[in-house]
Chain A
Amino acid sequence: MSPRSTGITLIAYAALAALFRWLSLSVPVFKVPFLGGAWLGWILLTLFALTGGWLLWRGQTQWHWSPLTLKQFRRFREIKRGHASFLVLLALVGVGSLDTLIVGKRALVVRYEGKFYFPFVTEVKPATTFGLKDESETDYRELQRQFRESRSSNWVLMPIVPYDPKLDTPETIEEVVMREGVAYRLSETKPFDGRAHTMFRDKPQQKRQEWVFRHGLKQGEMLGWDASNEQVEKATFDKGKRTAYNDFTEGKATALESQASATMLTVVYPPSPPSWAQRHFLGTTSMGGDVLAILYGGWQQAIIASILFVTFVFVVGIAAGGLLGYFGGVLDLVGMRLIEIWSVLPFLFIVMIVSSIISPNLFLLVVIISLFSWMGTTIYIRTAAMKEKARDYVASARLLGASTGRIIFKHILPNSIAILVTLAPFEVSAIITSLAALDYLGFGLPPEEPSWGRLLHEGTEDFNYPWIVSSAFVAMTTVLVLVTFVGEAIREAFDPKKFTTYR
C-alpha cells in the first residue's frame, strides 16, 4: 500500500466510524476505537484522520524506508515459518475484530413483514418488534425456529456461531424417543440415562409426569402433577416395570393422562459435547455457555490486553530506561536499585491480593500487571542507551551542537528500536499467559467475561468433559506458538550477523 492509499483508507475509516457512532450503530471493526469509551474513541478517530491527512498532504507515492530496514523486511519474509505465523496471527486478529458478525446471539438480518432489521448493530429490540408478547430482548434463535416452523416468508440469518461469549446459557431440551421398548435421546444411539418428562398440551410450561431412565428403561421414581403444579401421583419402577403406584387424588390422576403431550422431553444438562445440530461446535461449558464463543471472546480479550500491555510497558520502559541510560551517574545508581527492589516483589501474589479486594476489569488488570512488568524492557533500553551514548556518532552529534532531546530522539532511540521490536512478541505471550494464569486461579477478570484461563480451570477440574480443556489448551498453545515463531523470526531478521553459530 502506498502512503497515499494508506492516507485515504485512514480518513475513510475515521469518517465511517464517526458516522456509525453518530447513528449509534455498533458495527464490528468500526466500533474498535470506542472500546475504551467515547472520549478516547473520538481522540483516536481525530488522530487517524490527521495522520491520513498528513500522509495525503505529503503526497508521496512510495514509502522511503532505509536500506537497512528493507533488508530486515526481506530477511523476515525469507524466514518462512515466522512469516507464515505472522500472516496467520494477522488473520486471527482480523477474525477477532469481526465480533458480532460471526459470533453472537443477535441475528445478522431479520426479515419480518417485508421489513429488514439488523439486530447485530442496532440497539436491543424487544420481542414485541417481531410480533411476540415478550417485552424482553428477542431470542433470535427461538425466533428463527418459530419462523421456520410456521413456514412464513419471514426469516432470520444468524451468525456462524449463534451464541454470545458471555451471559448466554440457553437451556437445551431434546426429545426422548422409544425404539423397541428402549428409550433413546433423539440424537444418540446409546440407551438413555436420566430424567424425561411430558408437558401439558395446553400449558407447555407445566410438567405432567417425570420418570428416571437407566439404560433406556424406567427405573426408580415417577412423579406426576396436575395443571396447577400440585403433585398428584407417585410411582416406583424397576427395570421398566411399575412396582408401586400411589394416587394422592383417589383416581383422578389417570384422567390427566389425555391432557399430556405425546412427546417425552429431557433437559440436556450442561456441559454437553460438541454438536452440529445444536450449533455448539465445540460443546458447552458446565454453565451451558458455548465453548467456541468463549474461545473467541477470550481471543478478543487477549488482543486488547496485548495492545494495552505492550503500549504501557514500552512507554514506561523507554522513558525510564532512556533516562537512566543516557544520564547515568547517581540517577542510574538509585534508579537501578529501586528497580531491583521492585523486581523481587512476588508479582502474582500482589495481583491476587489486589483483585480479591476489588473486582478488576480488563484495563485495570493490565495496568496492575504492567506495574510489575516494566522493569525488563527498562533494563534493555538502559543498556542500549548507554551503549549508543558512547558511540562516535553521538559524540560527533554533540560536537556539532545537537541538543539532548535531538540526540535522544533522533540518534539513540531509532538505533535501539530493534530491541523493542524483538521484545514485543515475548511481551505479548507474557501477558496472555499472565491473564490466563490469573483467571485460572480465580483472581482475574469478572466472572462473566470470557476467558481462556477459566475454561482451562473448568476443564482440568473434571476430565469427564474433555472438549472443554482440549479446546482451551489447543487455542492457547496455538497462539503462543505462533507468537513465539514470529518473535524468533524478528530476532533473526534484526540480527546484524547473518550467520550465527551457537556454542
Chain B
Amino acid sequence: MISFARTAALISCAAIVVSCSDSEDTRFPPYDNTEEVKAYWKSKPDFFQWKTPADLPTSLKWENATDVPEFGDPRAKKGGTFHDWHPTFPPTFRKVGPDASNAFRGEHHDNIEIGLITRHPDEDVWIPGLAKEWAVSEDRKTVYFRLQDKLTFSDGHPIEVEDFFMTFFVMTSTHLKDPWYNDWYTKEYAGITQFDDRTFSITIPEPKPDPIWYAMIPPSPRHFYRELGPDFPARYQWRICPVTGAYVIDPALMKRGRSITLSRVKDWWARDLKHYRYLFNCDFLEYKIIASQDKAFEMFRQGQFDYYLAGLPRYWYDKAEVPEIYRGYIERHMFYNEYPQVTWGIRINESKPLLENLDVRLGINYSMNFQKVIDVDFRGDKTRMNSTVSGFGKFTNPDLRARPYDPVKAREHFAKAGFTKAGPDGILQNAEGKKLAFTLTTFNSGTITPIMLRLKEEAKKAGLEINVEGLDSTQMYKKLDQKNHEMGFAGFGAQPPYPRFWDDYHSANAFKIGKDGKREIVTDTNNMTQTADPALDPLIDQHRKAKTEEEVQRLSWQLAKLIEDRACTIPAWESPFYRYMTWRWVQWPAKGNARKSREPMDAHMFWIDEDVKRETKEAIRTGRDFGETLRVFDAYQAKQ
C-alpha cells in the first residue's frame, strides 16, 4: 500500500531516542480489546458486512495479471548479509502514531510490506500481492480481492480477512494520536465486506479513475494489536509488528542505538511466487547507526558497508578519486528513474503583508537564481524543476517552465508593486521607505544553507533582501505548519499515482471562519502558501472526485498552470536519476533497477555474490586491477 504519511520528507529529523528497558515492558498491564473490536464492528453494520460467496456479483471480471512480464533477475543468489548505514536510530518502530514517519520507516516497513496487490515496478499494471486475484465493480467504487492460499505474517500467524477489518479499528482509533490516519480511514472508505475466508471487498465513497490505489489497505494482525488501548504510543513504541514482507527486525541481533538488523522470514509465503522469487535475496540486512556522512563514507571505503548513496557532488566526484574506484573494487552506478519528484521549492506565504501582491511574488520568482545553484553547488547534475507537480508522467503539464533568473524583469515587477527606489545598501524601497526584505525560513543543513546564501547573494542584484533563517528541522516544519513564515524552503516526498492539489492549494486548508465570524488561519496543513483562490477551489474539488484518468490529467494540467500563474511556489531543482556506489560483489539486474523506484534499495532486486566477494578480497591483497566501472542506465531517461 502507499504510505500516505503526511510530511514524509526526505530529511531525517533529529530524534530523541527514548531510553527503554530491554526486557518486555512491565509498565503496561495486560489488555485485551477483542470485545471492543467486535462491538466496534457491530456498531457500524453498514460499513462492516459479512456475506456469503453467493452474494458476489456474477458480472465481475477477475484479474490476475498472468501475462505480465516478471521482474528481478533469475541469476540472483540467495544468502549473505547486506551492510548499510543510517544517520539516526529511529525514535520508534511503530508505523503509526507520533514519530512514526521517521526516516528509518522505509527500511522496515514501506519497502518491505507486500500490499494486497502491488504496482509493477516497470510497467503501468497491477500484479498480485497478498491477493492472487482481484476485480473492480462496474460503478468503480468497490474492489474485490481473493487472498493467496497460504498466507502468513512473519511470526507464523495466518493472514485472514478479519485482519483487514482490524485495520479500520486500528486506523480510526484516537488512541493512535495520529489524526492524519484517523481522518483518511474515516473519510476515504465506505465499507468492507467478507464473502468467505479468502474473499472480501473494499468500497470507497466516490468512484475513482482507478479505485485500486485507494482500496489496497494493509492488514493489521489482530493478535498484535490486541493490546491497543489509551497507552498505545508508549506501549507499542518498540514492539515489532509482524509483517507481510520478507524481512522483519530481528530483536536478537539489535544493538539499541548502534545497529538494527532485519532477517529474512523463514518459509516466506511468497518466496516461490512469480514476481517475488528473485527479490529480497540477502539473508540479513544490517543497518549501523553512523551520525556522520563522512565517517560512513570512510567505512564504506574500508568495505564495512556494501553500498553508498552518492547524491552530493562531494561524494560522487571529489571523494571518488580513490584507488578502490580506479581499480574497480567499488563500482559507480547512475540510474534514470521515473518517480514523483521531491517538491523542493520556496513556498511564499500569501497571507503575509506585501506577499499578497502578485507583482512582488513574480519579482521574487525572477530573483531566485536556481540555475546558478544547479550549475555551481550541484555541478550541473540536477535540472531545474519546472512545476511543483513533477515526475507524475502524463499528469505533469509539460508546457510549464519555471521562471528563470532575470533581475531586470524582477525589478520591473517590483516597480509595479511600488518598489522603485534603491536604498543606500542597494535594496529597493517603496514610497513609505519600506525595504523590500523577506525572511526565508529553512533548516540548518550543510547542504541547504550554502544554497540559500547563494540565493540571497544573487537576489541582492535584483534589489531584494532575503534574511535566511536556518532552524532545526523540527522547528522549521512547525513554523511552516503554523504558517508563521514569509518564505519557506522545503521539500516533500510525493507518491504516485496522481498529483494532489487539495492538501497544498485548497482554501479549506488556508483559512476558516472562526467563532467570532473573522477569518482565521488553519494551521497544521500542507497549504503553506496560504493559497485561497475561489477560482481554484472548484477545480480542485473536481480533481479530487474525477472519475477518469483523462479528467484527472486535464484538471492536473489546468491546475498546475493556474498555480504557476499565482507564482506562490518557486520550484527549485529535480534529479532525473539517482546514483550510488557499491562494492562489486553487490550484483544488480541487467536493467539496473526498477523503473519506478525512488531509491536504489526500494525494490530489493540486488543480491550478494559470495564468489565475487572472495575474488575481490583476493584482488585487494594482490593489487589486481578490474578497471574503473561506471554504469549508466538511461533507458528510462525522459526525452529532452
Interface residues of A (CB under 8 A from B): 24, 123-124, 126, 134-137, 167-169, 171, 195, 231, 267, 269-270, 286-288, 356-357, 359, 442, 446-448, 461-462, 464
Question: Would you give the shortest CB distance from A105 to chain B, in whole angstroms?
Answer: 11
Which B residues between 423 and 473 are near A, CB-CB below 8 angstroms?
A: 423-426, 444, 446, 449-450, 452-454, 456-457, 460-463, 468-472
B450→A24 contact, CB < 8 A: no
How many Å lie between the Cα of A415 and that of B422 in the bound state?
56
In contact, B462 and A136 (Cβ under 8 angstroms): yes
Q: Is the CB of A137 within 8 A of B460?
A: yes
Q: Which of B63-71, B74-82, B159-167, B372-380 contacts A (4 or more CB under 8 A)?
A: B372-380
- Selected from B379, B407, B456, the residue in CB contact (under 8 A) with A448 is B456
Asked whether B454 lies within 8 Å of A462 as measured between CB atoms, the reply is: no
What are 27 inter-chain pairs, A to B, with CB distance below 8 A? A123-B423, A135-B407, A135-B408, A135-B411, A136-B426, A136-B460, A137-B460, A167-B456, A169-B376, A169-B454, A171-B372, A195-B380, A267-B376, A269-B376, A269-B379, A270-B376, A286-B314, A286-B450, A357-B475, A359-B469, A447-B449, A447-B452, A448-B456, A448-B468, A461-B446, A464-B318, A464-B321
Distance between Cα atoms of A124 and B460 in the complex (Å): 11
Least Cβ–Cβ distance between A376 and chain B, in angstroms = 30
Q: Are B407 and A168 in contact (CB under 8 A)?
A: no
Q: Give A286 to B294 CA distance when docked, in angstroms.
A: 15
Q: How far is the CA of A124 from the CA of B444 in the complex (A)?
A: 30
**Chain A residues with Cβ under 8 A from B425's Cβ?**
123-124
B38 within 8 A of partner (CB): no
- Find out whether the CB atom of B450 lies under 8 angstroms from the CB atom of A136: no
How close is A360's CB to chain B, nearest CB, in angstroms? 11
Most buried by A among B380, B407, B462: B380
Query: Which A-chain residue is minimally distant from B628 (CB atoms)?
Result: A214
- In the complex, how many angstroms separate the beta carbon of A284 from the nearest chain B beta carbon? 11
Give B469's nearest chain A residue, CB to CB: A359
Complex contacts, A442 vs chain B, CB 8 Å: 444, 446
Interface pair B376/A288, CB less than 8 Å apart = yes
Whether B454 and A267, one on each chain, are in contact in the complex, defined by CB atoms closer than 8 angstroms, is no
Query: Which residue in B321, B375, B426 is a CB contact (below 8 Å) of A137?
Result: B426
- The contact of B407 among A24, A136, A270, A464, by CB within 8 Å, is A136
Q: Does residue B319 face the partner (Cβ distance < 8 Å to A)? A: yes
Residues of B within 8 A of A136 (CB): 407, 426, 460-463
Taking CB atoms, residues of chain A closer than 8 Å to B475 are 356-357
- Provide the bound-state CA to CA distance between A168 and B460, in Å: 11
Q: A123-B423, A136-B407 are in contact. List 4 more A-B contacts (CB 8 A).
A: A137-B461, A167-B456, A269-B313, A446-B470
| Most-contacted residue by chain B among A24, A231, A356 (CB, 10 A) | A356
Q: Is the CB of A267 within 8 A of B375?
A: yes
Which parts of B587-640 form the interface with A (CB within 8 Å)? Answer: 640
In the complex, residue of chain A having the shortest beta-carbon distance to the beta carbon of B630: A220
Q: How far is the CB of B413 from chain A (nearest CB, A)?
A: 13
Provide the bound-state CA to CA distance between A169 and B454, in Å.
8
Nearest CB to that of B463 among chain A residues? A136
- Tell me which residues from 310 to 366 in chain B have a Cβ below 8 Å from any Cβ of chain A: 313-314, 318-319, 321
Residues of chain B with a CB closer than 8 A to A464's CB: 318-319, 321
Shortest C-beta distance, A119 to chain B (Å), equals 11
Once the chains are docked, how many angstroms separate the CA of A126 from the CA of B461? 9
B55 to chain A, nearest CB (A): 58
CB nearest neighbor in A for B461: A136
- A359 touching B408 in the complex, CB below 8 Å, given contacts A167-B457, A231-B640, A462-B318: no
Q: Distance in Å from the Cβ of A459 to the closest Cβ of chain B? A: 12
Point out the residues of chain B lying under 8 angstroms from A270, CB to CB: 376
A447→B449 CA distance, assembly (Å)? 7
Question: Which of chain A's residues has its CB closest to B454's CB?
Answer: A169
Please judge, given known A-B contacts A167-B460, A461-B294, whether A124 and B424 are in contact too, CB under 8 Å. Answer: yes
Residues of B within 8 A of A126 (CB): 422, 426
For B468, the chain A residues whose CB sits under 8 A away are: 446-448
B15: shortest Cβ distance to chain A, in Å?
14
Residues of A within 8 A of B318 (CB): 462, 464
A287 touches B424 (CB 8 A): no
A446 to B452, CA, bound (A): 12
- Return the chain B residue nearest A458 by Cβ: B446
Q: Mark B216-240, 1 if CB is under 8 A from A, else 0.
A: 0000000000000000000000000
Tell me the smallest distance from the CB of A117 to a CB of chain B, in Å: 15
Please, which residues of chain B bring their CB within 8 A of the CB of A124? Answer: 422, 424-426
> Across the two chains, which residue of chain B brings its CB closest to A166?
B453
Do residues B407 and A134 form an inter-chain contact, with CB atoms below 8 A? yes
Which chain B positions have C-beta within 8 A of A269?
313, 376, 379
Q: Which residues of A contact B469 (CB under 8 A)?
A: 359
Q: Which A residues are CB-close (under 8 A) to B426?
A: 123-124, 126, 136-137
The residue on A at minimum CB distance from B424 is: A123
Q: Report B295 CB to chain A, min CB distance, Å.
A: 10
* Distance between Cα atoms of A131 and B400 in the complex (Å): 36
Contacts of B449 in A (CB 8 A): 447
B457 touches A168 (CB 8 A): yes
Q: For the complex, what is the distance from the CA of A461 to the CA of B312, rounded to whole Å?
A: 14
**A-contact bits for B528-570, CB 8 A (1 contact / 0 none):** 0000000000000000000000000000000000000000000
- Residues of chain A within 8 A (CB-CB) of B319 are 462, 464
- Hey, which chain B residues are within 8 Å of A137, CB to CB? 426, 460-461
CB distance from B313 to the nearest CB of A (A): 8
CB pair A169–B457 under 8 Å, yes or no, is yes
Inside 8 A of B375's CB, which chain A residues have their CB? 171, 267
Determine how close the nearest CB of chain A comes to the CB of B64; give it in whole angstroms: 41
Distance of A34 Cα from B302 Cα, bound (Å):
55
CA distance A359 to B452 in the complex (A): 15
Given A124-B425, A359-B470, decide whether A448 and B461 contact each other with a Cβ distance below 8 A.
Answer: no
User: Do B314 and A462 touch across chains, with their CB atoms under 8 A apart?
Assistant: yes
CB neighbours (8 Å) of B471 from chain A are 356-357, 359
- The distance in angstroms between the C-alpha atoms of A168 and B379, with both chains bound, is 18
Query: How far is A269 from B313 in the complex, measured between Cα atoms in Å?
Result: 10
B463–A135 touching, CB < 8 Å: yes
Closest Cβ of chain A to B407, distance in Å, is 6
Alpha-carbon gap, A379 to B379, bound state (A)? 55
CA distance A143 to B634 in the complex (A): 44
| Interface residues as binary, B165-176 with A (CB distance below 8 Å gives 1, 0 otherwise) | 000000000000
B364 CB to nearest A CB, Å: 15
Q: Which of B369-398 contact A (CB under 8 A)?
A: 372, 375-377, 379-380
What is the bound-complex CA distance between A195 and B463, given in angstroms? 33
Partner of A447, one of B313, B376, B377, B453: B453
Residue of A nearest to B377 (CB): A287
A442 to B292 Cα, complex, angstroms:
14
A261 to nearest B CB, angstroms?
18
- In the complex, A357 Cα to B441 Cα: how many Å? 12
Contact across chains for A24 and B424 when beta carbons are under 8 A apart: yes
Report the nearest A residue to B452, measured CB to CB.
A447
Q: A124-B426, A136-B407, A136-B426 are in contact. Are A287 and B450 (CB under 8 A)?
A: yes
A171 to B456, CA, bound (A): 15
Cα separation A359 to B471 with both chains bound (whole Å): 7
